[in-house]
Structure 1
Amino acid sequence: MREHFLLDPTVHFLNHGSFGACPKPVFEALQQWQLAMERNPVEFLGRRSAALLRTARERLAAHLGAQADDLVFVPNATTGVNTVAQSLALQPGDEILTTDHEYGACDATWHHVCQRTGAVYRRVEIPLPFEASEFADRLMAAVTPRTRLIFVSHLTSTTALVFPLAALCAAARERGIATLVDGAHAPGQIDLHLDTLGADFYTGNCHKWLCAPKGAAFLHVRPERQREVHAPVVSWGYVAGEDGAGSTGGHTGFDAYVGSTLLERRLQWQGTRDIAAWLSVPAALDFLAANHWPAHRSASHQRALALQARVLARNGLQPIAHGTDFGQMVPIPVRSSDPAGLRAWLFDQHRIEVPVTQHAGQVFVRVSVQAYTLDSELQALENALAAAGV
């Protein structure tokens, strides 16, 4: 599969998880959409964009087990988290309950929102080694009468754990508590059926494991919660009004780009921007289907676990979870007192692109194995870690 990607052949690229990698045919689709936009930007953005985005959302919704009317495109999962966080009418003392494994940028989002509103961002420790069967009960045991929302990752960034969310979402719903899931790493890496999962809000990236271009992500909102969500940038959809009526500010043709559903009108048009990455999502789904991606995904998962096992057998450390708790990313515990130095050494001396993360005093080399990953790249990392004595 390596020939289908644009990756630098001189780099051992084991960090698909950070920004993804776009296959050549999908990148070509992106460029074709950009060219179509530049040929007549007024027609493309002003008259065609809503219908084009609708078609792309329908394809994505079918893949995610969701309804197109409950989805809207956003540039990245961080934007999705911010959109929800800044939409909630939080009061002083309200609690946002989360885990101690969340992505730093989203932690920063909640700290900012809580500082502004007087709400409280409260972390629950999810100890290592991880036991999936205890996850939902541990979080729900921390719920108080002030808990307004539970915010959790589907796959954690630092520790690469897959959190089991169905039971948590169901338990929270029974208590009248909303759930927001940061699914940045989930689409394409694990099977998703958002309608069944039951999260009130779910945001995920398409540019990571779905292999879409950078800047393609989505926010999914259950129908009964959609009136709570507001755009971070107010634009023409608000002028048109929630029922599509109202002042047009001297312009016509709003529905051609603001759309007709509530989520579309509020979130779809936030000023002029390049929508080509969103329109390329169907091309990414076509690429995965044409190349039998479930088989590649399963094989990548097994190869990642095998590498983890070999390194741990050498360095005498233990995994932080069972193999079923990981996807195509695995955290390999290492003995290092200088994570930043180890990451830099791996790249500068061995041309290995891989993140070195930390959690609860432990250091991990977080390896991503994608269909294009070569066995020689995994061996290069294994050899380098042995040479470093970690």
Structure 2
Amino acid sequence: MSDFLLEPDVIFLNHGSFGACPALVFDKYQHWHRQLERQPVRFLQRELPGLLADARRQLADYLGARSTEVTFVANPTFAANTIARCLPLASGDEVLISDQEYGACRFAFQFAAQQKGFRIVEQSIPLPVETDEAIVEAFWQGVTKNTKLIFISHITSTTALTLPVAKICQRAREAGILTMIDGAHAPGQIDMNLEEIGADFYTATCHKWMCAPKGSGMFYVREDRQHLIDPLVVGWGWGPEKTFHRENDFISNHEWLGTYDPAAYLTVPTAIDWHKTYFTQEVRQRSCDLARMAVDLSAQIDGIERVHPDAFFRQMGLIDITAHQVEDHVQLKTHLYDAYKIEVPVIRWKDRTLIRVSSHAYTTEQHIHTFVQALKETFST
């Protein structure tokens, strides 16, 4: 816990919402703030292009992509809006999503659908799942001759389910369908290689499981698809007087949108170094084991069930408390915090009530036991 800035009296089991930043990483974040303010003109005009290029290169290396295919964005919601607004989708076209997609990104496509007239098809992936093949087959039932884009999560936010995105992307490519993957929860939680995944578009946060500062996200577009993506915001990066990267329209269009604070982006390499040094495979496995421990122990309580087999989740475990007929899930979340200082999301999804437990390097066995005891006491009354 001492490596992080989290309040020591809070049992923080909600890394999945906004992440948490190690002190070492946050110190570097403040360093970049100071560098900017010491000489803003020099920093923004003369130093920033090279600094961003280096940060982007390190991020691309970490994710298994080329640096010309990755640009920084504030968050996946921004990237989802870019795709939804820019792709030539029209009346008669369909965008296929699962029934477990993140609300803000789903809203981006719903808004664009109202403007352009294309249709969103939401395909159910029944829970619990048993195999990757079963997931692909269930999802593929939503594909029609009108499907132009598949938009699906790598690890779902609401249900903490790891989806076989590489298999879905491969099948989509064979069918001539574009793919965009919402990887908000993937980098830092699982090892990944964007080239091997094979998506046309991929977006993720760096501030969640990579533990970079808030407001650092990435947007990957394969080089042969970049001509499809116009900038959502037009600034100095566009046109004949490009400020940055005149040799690459995709980077130039998306990297300089006007004056902004680049400190979160520039801190991403430090977060990557922190992961390589401190969040070793041993520590990551321990975090996964604690999430599974939370699920296993909770499922021993009457009226609580596990949702996924161990193979389908990593550092976010999910339990189903629907049988307890919780009338107000927000009130339950507040109760767990006020009574036990446990920060954990209680989620209403379809007709089910779920609790998603996140574990990271700062999580201890005692945290998990306190959480389980809190559930026992709460549901015994």
Shift of 1:27: 0.4
**Mapping for residues 165-314 of structure 1, pairs under 5 Å:** 165-240=165-240, 248=241, 254-255=242-243, 257=244, 260-314=247-301
Counterpart-to-counterpart distance in 2, 1:137 and 1:5: 42
For the residue of structure 2 that corresponds to 1:236, the secondary structure is coil
Q: Report the residue type matching 2:212 in the other structure.
A: A
CA contact (8 A) 2:279 2:361 kept: no
For the residue of structure 1 that corresponds to 2:306, the secondary structure is coil
For the residue of structure 1 that corresponds to 2:237, the secondary structure is helix
Check if 1:338 corresponds to 2:328: yes
Check if 1:103 corresponds to 2:102: yes
CA contact (8 A) 2:96 2:150 kept: yes
Shift of 1:351: 1.2
Shift of 1:142: 1.9
Counterpart-to-counterpart distance in 2, 1:372 and 1:259: 43
Gaps of 5+ in 2: none
Gaps of 5+ in 1: 241-247, 249-253
**Mapping for residues 32-51 of structure 1, pairs under 5 Å:** 32-51=31-50
Deviations 1:116-137 (A, max 9, x none): 0001111001111123321122
Counterpart-to-counterpart distance in 1, 2:304 and 2:374: 17
**Mapping for residues 53-92 of structure 1, pairs under 5 Å:** 53-92=52-91
Q: Runs ≥4 in structure 1, deviation > 6 angstroms?
A: none
Counterpart-to-counterpart distance in 1, 2:77 and 2:284: 25
Deviations 1:326-347 (A, max 9, x none): 0100111113332111101111
Counterpart-to-counterpart distance in 2, 1:315 and 1:282: 46
Check if 1:127 corresponds to 2:126: yes
Deviations 1:43-88 (A, max 9, x none): 1111121111110011111111111110000011111111111111
Q: Report the residue type matching 1:209 in the other structure.
A: W
- CA gap 1:308/1:346 in 2 versus in 1, 3 angstroms: same
Deviations 1:2-21 (A, max 9, x none): 10100011211111110000
Shift of 1:375: 2.0
For the residue of structure 1 that corresponds to 2:307, the secondary structure is coil
Check if 1:373 corresponds to 2:372: no
Deviations 1:210-254 (A, max 9, x none): 0100011100011110011121110112222xxxxxxx3xxxxx4
Query: How well do the aligned residues superpose, as a CA RMSD in angstroms?
Result: 1.3
Deviations 1:83-120 (A, max 9, x none): 11111111112100011001111111111000000011
Counterpart-to-counterpart distance in 1, 2:102 and 2:8: 30
Counterpart-to-counterpart distance in 2, 1:134 and 1:77: 27
Which residue of 348, 353, 372 maps to 1:363?
Answer: 353
Which residue of 347, 356, 376 maps to 1:386?
Answer: 376
Q: Report the residue type matching 2:161 in the other structure.
A: L
Deviations 1:260-308 (A, max 9, x none): 3121111000000000100000101111111142221111111111111
Q: Structure 1 vs Structure 2: percent identity of aligned residues?
A: 41
Q: Report the residue type matching 1:389 in the other structure.
A: F
Q: Report the residue type matching 2:248 in the other structure.
A: T
Counterpart-to-counterpart distance in 2, 1:283 and 1:259: 27
Shift of 1:160: 0.4
Which residue of 323, 344, 360 maps to 1:354?
Answer: 344
**Higher mean C-alpha displacement, 141-150 vs 315-324:** 315-324
Q: Provide TM-score, normalisation by structure 2.
A: 0.96
For the residue of structure 1 that corresponds to 2:203, the secondary structure is strand
Shift of 1:318: 3.3
Q: Provide TM-score, normalisation by structure 1.
A: 0.94
Counterpart-to-counterpart distance in 1, 2:300 and 2:277: 37
Q: Report the residue type matching 2:335 in the other structure.
A: W
Counterpart-to-counterpart distance in 1, 2:283 and 2:164: 23
CA contact (8 A) 2:308 2:318 kept: no
CA contact (8 A) 1:140 1:172 kept: no
Counterpart-to-counterpart distance in 2, 1:204 and 1:193: 13
Q: Report the residue type matching 1:313 in the other structure.
A: Q
Which residue of 295, 318, 327 maps to 2:305?
Answer: 318
Counterpart-to-counterpart distance in 2, 1:40 and 1:97: 48
Shift of 1:154: 0.7
Counterpart-to-counterpart distance in 2, 1:238 and 1:310: 55
**Higher mean C-alpha displacement, 372-381 vs 164-173:** 372-381
CA contact (8 A) 1:71 1:219 kept: yes
Q: Report the residue type matching 2:210 in the other structure.
A: L
CA contact (8 A) 1:259 1:268 kept: no
- CA gap 1:13/1:259 in 2 versus in 1, 3 angstroms: farther
Counterpart-to-counterpart distance in 2, 1:258 and 1:61: 16
Counterpart-to-counterpart distance in 1, 2:16 and 2:312: 16
